[in-house]
Structure 1
């Protein structure tokens, strides 16, 4: 599995509650069947939404 890094993901990883939600999603998700929106705030208090979804890397489900 690969994770695409972004500023939104970095913000999620800094928030303990949001990173816990992301870990739980990664532990239980299956390719193409589930997704989850994770909400947190950045250091300036701005609301940030991160949409986590597993997708196949080669374009084929196995």
Structure 2
């Protein structure tokens, strides 16, 4: 039987988990921008690329 611990070791699970972590971080970008942080500060704090944060900021301003 395929248990939870074996599932967590699969590449598919690891990739999905990482994507979820990144999505959660990017979801916080608008709030941090609202607090007055710069894109560079947010990227450093969330351990993301400046480009990723810039894109998230642009999407937020488009909505």
Point out the structure with the larger helix share: 2
Which of 1 and 2 has higher RCO (CA within 8 Å, sep 6+)? Answer: 1
The TM-score, its normalising length taken from structure 2, stands at 0.31
Point out the structure with the larger strand share: 1
The TM-score, its normalising length taken from structure 1, stands at 0.32
